[in-house]
Amino acid sequence: MALKNAYLIDLMKTVEARNPNDKQFLITVRSVLESIEPVVEARPELIEKGVLDLFVEPERIVKFRVSWTDDAGKVHVNRGYRVQSNSAIGPYKGGLRLHPSVTEDTVKFLAFEQTLKNSLTTLPIGGGKGGSDFDPKGKSEREVLAFCQNFMRELYRHIGASTDIPAGDIGVGGREIGFLFGQYKKIVNSYDSVLTGKGVNWGGSLIRPEATGYGCVYFASEMLNTRGNELAGKRVLISGSGNVAQYAAEKATQLGAKVLSLSDSNGTIIDPDGISAEKLSFIKELKNVRRGRIREYAAAYPRAEYHEGKRPWQLAACDVALPCATQNELDLDDAKTLVANGCIAVCEGANMPTTLDATAYIQGHGLLFSPGKASNAGGVATSGLEMSQNAIRLNWNQSEVDKRLHDIMISIHAATRAAATEFGEPDNYVMGANIAGFRKVADTMIDLGI
Ligand code: NDP
């Protein structure tokens, strides 16, 4: 699909000129503009009032030096980022990513996506994202602590409980959130609800660790229901073995599906018997406590096979694919194999794991496809619930939070489908999510005065 509206074509040229090196950001902006083109055509005031010109430019980008010393006393320098994309409907909110691949482009595209995702959650939260090219892998706990403390020493100036509330993402789990929060609290001398994903002893919400993975599976179930289908009995391929993948596997198994794979950045395991709850406990201990590699699963469960350097999609046939690792991890060749093997639904747990040509192929062959901004929004939604609990200084129990999460995922699915149906393509969840997310932000921008 190419842009046809002259105003949007010009706008895209401006975005390209302003961000010449931000490849992923440009891909993301273009794909969103393509989706919302029918709304722009129907509502000329969006152009007259300059809503789109503002929407494609982050409100603020903060880029800073982070220095820390390793265990041998050597000084290292990394780059830290926080992109505050849009605060129309609430304070900026979005994760922090620690991975050597992180650049300004990564954080900018993720913050842009986050604005639409947060809008879909039904909660009053704007969009932001942050991170650093620091690699936590192979670092001692003291080194990770040193990095987190120095990262927060600069970040604290730009965030706040009603300004910007970061959370976890790749490389940032409960341990790192604890180190970051400890430093923030010390600097500002206040127990603010400034981060989510906190431990339950110090302001965290039950079900937050589970939320993204569970939410993704709840969304997949809703999609399957639209075709009179259900998850029970389905073969599921999942990529990744981190936070999102683990809990997507847990919920899919609880709902009666057979999870055949998990992976990490080194390779994939395929278990033809399915990854049961007991096997998943092994994975959680392996990845979260021992910080080991997925290949060790095959040594523990000999009927499983380990494939070095491979992603799951071409290794076994499945009914449902849940990419839950990272961006661009499911490409056109993978999509062709999924279609040829009879897959019926692809539901993104990660952010933009499916390349655009793969997405087009999957949609073009009649499979159900949901973009991460809709199907992985359960994480940020439950972060929003954590903020609510902090604000009223109460903790809801597990089933209460899970019920709210489930209801939110049902609402996101319904809103996405309704917007797609309104514009004549009921199964187009990409279009539906972009339109539903965008309209709320755009209307608020107009209400607040451009
Ligand atoms: P984790 O760090 O817990 O896990 C990431 C997993 O993906 C690990 O198994 C990791 O392998 C693998 N991985 C990372 N980079 C690559 C790569 N370049 N190639 C192949 N595999 C890779 O992160 P999360 O589970 O939290 O996040 C996963 C995805 O979900 C990300 O896209 C994130 O933005 C998105 N997301 C996460 C949310 C959350 O609540 N956590 C909320 C919404 C979206 P290895 O162990 O080798 O690093």
Which residue, judged by its Cα, is nearest atom 23 of ligand 1? 170
- Predicted TM-score (pTM) of the model is 0.94
| Contact residues for 264 (Cβ-Cβ < 8 A; gap 6+) | 240, 241, 242, 287, 293, 294, 325
Q: Which residue among 375, 404, 437 closes a domain?
A: 375
- To which residue do tokens 């939320």 refer? 211
Task: Show the CA angle centred on residue 450, arms to residues 381 and 64, nearest 5°.
Answer: 60
Q: Which residue among 375, 402, 418 closes a domain?
A: 375
Query: Does residue 404 fall inside a structural domain?
Result: no
Q: Residue 283 sits in which domain range? A: 209-375
Based on the fold, state whether residues 334 and 244 are members of the same structural domain. yes
Based on the fold, state whether residues 131 and 151 are members of the same structural domain. yes
Whether residue 361 contacts residue 338, with contact meaning beta carbons closer than 8 Å, is answered with no
The count of domains in the chain is 3
Based on the fold, state whether residues 180 and 232 are members of the same structural domain. no
Based on the fold, state whether residues 354 and 225 are members of the same structural domain. yes
Query: Does residue 312 fall inside a structural domain?
Result: yes
Cα of 327 vs centre of ligand 1, distance in Å, is 9
Checking DSSP bridges between strand 164-167 and strand 258-259, what pairing results, if any? unpaired
- To which residue do tokens 């514009």 refer? 423
DSSP 8-class letter at 160: B
Rg (CA), the chain: 21
Which residue, judged by its Cα, is nearest atom 46 of ligand 1? 264
Based on the fold, state whether residues 139 and 216 are members of the same structural domain. no
Based on the fold, state whether residues 36 and 73 are members of the same structural domain. no
Ligand 1, pocket-test mutation among 24, 102, 265, 289, most atoms within 8 A of CB: 265
Based on the fold, state whether residues 33 and 76 are members of the same structural domain. no
pLDDT in tens, the chain (450 residues): 789 999 999 999 999 999 999 999 999 999 999 999 999 999 999 999 999 999 999 999 999 999 999 999 999 999 999 999 999 999 999 999 999 999 999 999 999 999 999 999 999 999 999 999 999 999 999 999 999 999 999 999 999 999 999 999 999 999 999 999 999 999 999 999 999 999 999 999 999 999 999 999 999 999 999 999 999 999 999 999 999 999 999 999 999 999 999 999 999 999 999 999 999 999 999 999 998 999 999 999 999 999 999 999 999 999 999 999 999 999 999 999 999 999 999 999 999 999 999 999 999 999 999 999 999 999 999 999 999 999 999 999 999 999 999 999 999 999 999 999 999 999 999 999 999 999 999 999 999 998
Q: Which residue among 360, 375, 390 closes a domain?
A: 375
Backbone angles phi, psi at 295, to 5 degrees: -60, -25
Based on the fold, state whether residues 271 and 361 are members of the same structural domain. yes
Cα of 315 vs centre of ligand 1, distance in Å, is 20
Give the ligand 1 atom nearest the CA of 264.
Answer: 11
Give the domain CATH number at 297. 3.40.50.720
Query: Does residue 346 fall inside a structural domain?
Result: yes
Whether residue 216 contacts residue 347, with contact meaning beta carbons closer than 8 Å, is answered with yes
Measured from the Cβ of residue 196, the count of other Cβ atoms closer than 10 Å reads 26
The tokens for 301 are 């469960």
Question: Is 129 known to be catalytic?
Answer: yes
Based on the fold, state whether residues 231 and 320 are members of the same structural domain. yes
Query: Does residue 156 fall inside a structural domain?
Result: yes
Based on the fold, state whether residues 44 and 91 are members of the same structural domain. no
Which residue, judged by its Cα, is nearest atom 33 of ligand 1? 350
Query: Does residue 444 fall inside a structural domain?
Result: no
Query: Does residue 237 fall inside a structural domain?
Result: yes
Give the ligand 1 atom nearest the CA of 172.
Answer: 2
Which residue, judged by its Cα, is nearest atom 48 of ligand 1? 265
Catalytic residue among 93, 117, 129, 287: 129
- Distance of alpha carbon 247 from alpha carbon 255, whole angstroms: 12
Residue of 244, 237, 259 lying closest to 378 (CA atoms): 244
Q: Is the distance from the beta carbon of residue 183 to the nearest atom of ligand 1 less than 6 Å?
A: no
The tokens for 393 are 């200084």
Give the domain CATH number at 164. 3.40.50.10860
Whether residue 236 contacts residue 260, with contact meaning beta carbons closer than 8 Å, is answered with yes
Based on the fold, state whether residues 303 and 337 are members of the same structural domain. yes
Cα of 170 vs centre of ligand 1, distance in Å, is 5
Query: Does residue 34 fall inside a structural domain?
Result: yes
Query: Does residue 12 fall inside a structural domain?
Result: yes
